[in-house]
Amino acid sequence: MTTALREQICLLAKSMFDRGLTGGSTGNISARTDDGGLLVSPTGTSFGRLDPARLSHFDASCRLVDGDPPTKEMPLHTAFYDTRSAAGAVVHLHSCHSVAWSMMPDVDPDNFLPPMTPYAIMKLGRVKLLPFYRPGDPAMGEAVRGLAGKRSAVMLANHGPVVAGKDIEAACNAIEELEDTARLAMMMHGIPARMLDATQVRDLVTHFDIEWDD
């Protein structure tokens, strides 16, 4: 299973890289193993060229047992795993449209994405906009812990989104939905677009049993 998971992590990471969702050596990705450990993208690596055999491998006690040294954003990943029992994977990208939307002065920090389509609501719930932190700052992880597991996705201002999912495919699908919605928001900014209204949002939340802390 670990071999298949290693290959899936690298395949999905390369797919996101090839489509321009993160570039250079930016972004990081992790997933739970069957024994409670973690596989994590190493520090300084490109999503387009991850080697399955060199992924950072942690045991259930979060001790590095093999592979290269992990991303400096490990505090972000462990914060999600420690506060969300259902989290099976975490993805962090430097996707352009979501970063651009985080810079807009009229964005709601408690509900980062406007209600434009049902899919971001269904896959992400409310997305919390966190303030800017220096990359690698453990305070980012503390900020996620401060949410007490109530959010599956956060946006790091001027930096990029971080999303936890039940497995690696779900996390990747959700973070792509976040970027797509931010792109729509940038496209429609300043235009009196028809958004989903409060009744439609509540219907989605109720029908699909979505986490949605009011």
List the domain boundaries for the chain: 2-207
Collapsing DSSP to helix, strand or coil, 2 comes out as helix
- Which residues, in sequence order, are bridge partners of residue 40? 30, 56
Given the residues 73, 176, 177, 179, select the one marked as catalytic. 73
What is the per-residue pLDDT for 178?
98
Q: Which residues pair with 161 in a beta bridge?
A: 155
Amino acid 2: pLDDT? 87
Using one digit for the tens of pLDDT, what is the confidence trace for 109-153? Answer: 999 999 999 999 999 999 999 999 999 999 999 999 999 999 999
Ordered strands of the 89-92 beta sheet: 64-66, 56-58, 38-40, 28-32, 89-92, 160-165, 153-156, 128-130
Choice among 7, 81, 119, 211 that is catalytic: 119
First CA to last CA distance, the chain: 39
Q: What is the total residue count of the chain?
A: 214
177 is catalytic: no
Query: What fold, for 2-207?
Result: L-fuculose-1-phosphate Aldolase (3.40.225)
pLDDT mean over 147-174: 98
The model's pLDDT over 7-65, given as tens digits with 9 standing for 90+, comes to 999 999 999 999 999 999 999 999 999 999 999 999 999 999 999 999 999 999 999 99
Residue 141's pLDDT is 97
pTM (whole model) above 0.85: yes
- 133 labelled catalytic: no
Mean pLDDT (whole number) for 193-210: 96
CA 48/CA 113 separation, integer angstroms: 28
